[in-house]
A and B are shown apart, each in its own frame.
Chain A
Amino acid sequence: MMAQDSSLMKMMDDAVAESQKGQVVTGTFKATQIVNLPTVESPGKKSLQFMIMHRFGKLNGGAYELFGLDNASIRFALDYGITDRFSVGLGRSSVDKTFDGSLKYKLLQQKEAGMPISVSLYGLITNYTQRYTDKPYLDARYRTAYTTQVLIAKKFSPAFSFEVVPSWIHYNLVPTPEDKSDLFAVSAGGRLKFTKRMSVNAEYNYLLRNQVVSTKVYDAISGGIDIETGGHVFQLVFTNAAGMVGPYYLAKTNGSWGKGDIYFGFNITRNFNFKK
């Protein structure tokens, strides 16, 4: 057998080891977001992802509100991979009737050797269309906000991945002069797989203090479970944030976990391919 020829076997093993070094680490996260926080993942080239993000009302609404199930907010989103590293997205949230457009670019990809982390850049523009008859001055410009995030992730093991995200949000209009129009937040999140197709996820979004002063805001803390089945990913989530895009969950979260302002919800993603 070939095994007797140990020098040849060694040559073959070396050749394999060499090609392993350059391999990109894949599957850092199952979905394109942990709960609300975007992950370094994006749809592959020519694949379209349809996502439904759904949040029921607050659990502390009690039996009268059927523990939040009487109310719901939703975001629909489409994300399309132009290349394997660059994707574009469109979304619409019922919260504030907000439209959003986004770009995600995989700047660095973690490799088996040489590159220890993945870094993606994420840019999101939001425009809310909720009518406020008492505020006739709200034109399209005032209704627009920009969110820029640097997604830095590492897959430490097949089961465990962690991500750190500095965010910068710019509002064209804020409620009072005391409120900052440029806000900064730092988020951290991760996933831990407990079976091949399921994982627990959590994220903490820390909004730097004394930026939003006219209203009481809380850090958005979310957790959930990912269940992956073929082309779908289901995420069952608990969060204190009603909003599902940057300017909302990062800087307008008015729910407190301590008071029971917890929203149950889910994200469902479905992939469609346009490659023959």
Chain B
Amino acid sequence: MKAMYVLALASLLYLPAKAQTFMTRNGKINFYSKTSLEDIKAENRQVVAAIDLSKKTVALTLLQKNFLFEKQLMQDHYNENYVESDKFPKAQFTGTINGNVGTTPGTYKVQITGNLTLHGVTKPVTAPAELEVAEGKVTGKADFKVKPSDFDIKIPSLVKDKIASEITVQVVATCTALSK
């Protein structure tokens, strides 16, 4: 009797049998600023991302200093002058998945709605996304645009023509199942 009790408890602890939570530490976020004077791009390959298919939620966290630019000086300016990484080291997004996502392998087009926190400012963001569900992993892809001015990022008039007023952000994160 006692053994059965323990067994029942153990099985409860190991629920759900099929993993619904997926995570990665190596998600990728690129952003692009295109103007006639200068193209700027940066890449962060150390994005922590999580997708919960049962709750239909997603979360992303990254460190600003992990964005790599082609030019060292741009990277310094990004961290020191624009996003002020010493004061606001992280950028975060939490949101919900709207649309149909199955647990069977396949590609699902969805809409993601949530809040992006960047430079100490939180703003709602909505973006179309693609979720590729495969055995033991889910790949999330999304593109959206961000206005630096919405996040209180001031761009001095001297370089205004070199930095786009809308920055294109691309997210690709392949999250693997968490064995709980």
Q: How big is chain B's contact interface, by range?
A: 35 or more
For A1-42 the 0/1 string (1 means CB < 8 A from B) is: 111110011011101100110010011000000000000000
In the complex, A275 has a CB within 8 A of chain B: yes
For A196-215 the 0/1 string (1 means CB < 8 A from B) is: 11000000000000000000
When C-beta atoms are compared, the residue in chain B nearest to A8 turns out to be: B50
In Å, the complex CA distance between A196 and B90 comes to 19
Inter-subunit contact A16/B71 (CB<8 Å): no
Inter-subunit contact B57/A12 (CB<8 Å): no
Contact surface of B with A, Cβ cutoff 8 Å: 21, 23, 25, 46, 48, 50, 52, 55, 57-59, 61-63, 65-66, 70-73, 75-77, 79-81, 84, 86-87, 89-90, 94, 96, 156, 158-159, 162, 178
Give the A-B contact count at a CB cut-off of 8 A: 88
In Å, the complex CA distance between A12 and B57 comes to 14
Inter-subunit contact B94/A273 (CB<8 Å): no
When C-beta atoms are compared, the residue in chain B nearest to A41 turns out to be: B76
Choose from B55, B61, B79, B159 the contact partner of A27 (Cβ within 8 Å): B79
When C-beta atoms are compared, the residue in chain A nearest to B79 turns out to be: A26
In Å, the complex CA distance between A23 and B50 comes to 23
Inter-subunit contact A11/B65 (CB<8 Å): no
Choose from B52, B63, B77, B90 the contact partner of A8 (Cβ within 8 Å): B52
Choose from A12, A196, A230 the contact partner of B61 (Cβ within 8 Å): A12
Contact surface of A with B, Cβ cutoff 8 Å: 1-5, 8-9, 11-13, 15-16, 19-20, 23, 26-27, 43-45, 47, 81, 84, 158, 196-197, 229-231, 271, 273, 275-276
The interface residues of chain A lying within 8 Å CB-to-CB of B65 are 20, 23, 26
Q: Which 8 pairs across A and B sit closest by C-beta, in order of nearness?
A: A44-B72, A158-B86, A2-B59, A2-B57, A15-B48, A12-B48, A2-B94, A15-B25
The interface residues of chain B lying within 8 Å CB-to-CB of A273 are 70-71, 73
Inter-subunit contact B73/A44 (CB<8 Å): yes
Inter-subunit contact A16/B61 (CB<8 Å): yes
Q: A9-B59, A12-B59, A16-B48 are in contact. List 17 more A-B contacts (CB 8 A).
A: A2-B50, A2-B55, A2-B58, A2-B94, A5-B52, A5-B55, A8-B52, A12-B48, A15-B25, A20-B65, A23-B65, A26-B80, A47-B72, A231-B73, A271-B73, A273-B73, A275-B71
